[in-house]
Amino acid sequence: MAETDNDNILESESFEDDGEHKSYKLYNFRRPDKFSKDNLRALRDIHREFSKAISLVLSGYLRMRVEIEIVSVDQLTYEEFVRSMPSPISVGVFEFEPLSGQILLGISFEVISCIVNRMLGGIGSVDTQSRELTDIEKALAKKVINTIISSLEDAWNTIVPVTGKFISLDDNYQSIQVATAGEIVALLTFEVQISGKHFGLFSLCFPYPVLESVLGHLSTQHIFQTKGLVATNDERMKMISKLNLSLADLRVQFGTCNITLDDFLQLAEGDIIKLDNKIEDDLIVKVNGEKKFFARPGTLKNQVCVKITDVYDEMHEILRNYF
């Protein structure tokens, strides 16, 4: 009788799959998801811009067409990541100060051998057999990795100000321990095409502790809001210093008037032309043909000059014609 009662109790408390929405979700304790889908989308967006920038940088540096495209963003354990990587492979270890921990940049042998061959004066050919790099090749590989880290730093500075710091270069992942075996990492994989005939991969591995403090910034909404903003005054000064060598065409229109062609052909030194502008009217300063500033005419050390008074405003120019 007792057994029958117990069976009835068990039956009454058993879970029934009625097709309704469950208030729980499955959790894998062995491989928990620490990065949300929005975090992974944000990482893809950041490094999509980075891949475009580094493609241009390496194309100019190597005098070869280099195309880099991000192909996947995944999260997995550090042990799974290490097991999935080939050997030998050039692995650059670096930090993003002030973020804690180290980041891994892996470049396949096909890519690094092609780049090093080009840096040594070759045509950019790929060695048919994988091998470890020589000391000279490693020195050149470090230059390439530092260039990549610099472009990566620029891409991340739109999200959070960071400074890249190169740590070391290794030939495989087995000798590197930047995270525990079960730690979750974000793995970004890029496809590299050189001159349209050599193909390879490189990857970025971000252990979770490195990104933990900035996960709030890793959202597509935050990237959209901060895109295009100058992060620091240092970046502003770098931009200005690069633009200082650029030549700009600067023109000022002092006024207009209508004269006949015959009067124009008879103009001589000392003749006076009456312009339509009033003395108190603002002049328009054009930079490379675009209206940029308002100015007032004057003289300085017997030279005709203008003084900038305000930034050009189209509505102001329209309204002044009515007064």
Question: Residue 185: what pLDDT?
Answer: 94
Question: Residue 2: what pLDDT?
Answer: 47
Dihedral sign for Cα 225, 227, 229, 231, please: positive
Question: Residue 148: what pLDDT?
Answer: 94
Q: Which two tokens stand for residue 58?
A: 């390496």
- Cα angle at 153 between 149 and 159, to 5 degrees? 150
Question: Residue 101: what pLDDT?
Answer: 92
Interstrand relation of 198-207 and 103-107 (parallel, antiparallel or unpaired): antiparallel
Burial 79-111, CB ≥16 within 10 A → b, else e: ebbbeebeeebbbbbbbbeebebbbbbbbbbbb
Q: pTM for the whole thing?
A: 0.60
CA dist 38 and 30 (Å) reads 22
* Nearest CA among 136, 111, 127 for reference residue 54: 111
Domains of the chain: 37-243 (3.40.1550.10), 250-262+276-320 (no CATH)
CA dist 75 and 272 (Å) reads 77
Q: Which two tokens stand for residue 241?
A: 């210093």
Q: Which two tokens stand for residue 8?
A: 């009835």
Which of the 8 DSSP states describes residue 64?
S
Other Cβ atoms closer than 10 A to 150: 14
Other Cβ atoms closer than 10 A to 114: 27
Question: Residue 1: what pLDDT?
Answer: 47
pLDDT in tens, the chain (323 residues): 444 444 444 444 444 444 455 555 455 555 556 888 889 998 998 999 899 999 999 998 888 899 999 999 999 999 999 998 888 899 999 999 999 999 999 999 999 999 999 999 888 888 878 888 889 999 999 999 999 999 999 989 878 889 999 999 998 888 898 999 999 999 999 999 998 888 899 999 999 999 998 888 887 665 555 555 444 567 667 777 777 777 888 888 888 888 888 888 888 888 888 888 777 778 888 988 888 888 888 888 888 888 888 888 777 777 666 55
CB 164 within 8 A of CB 145: no
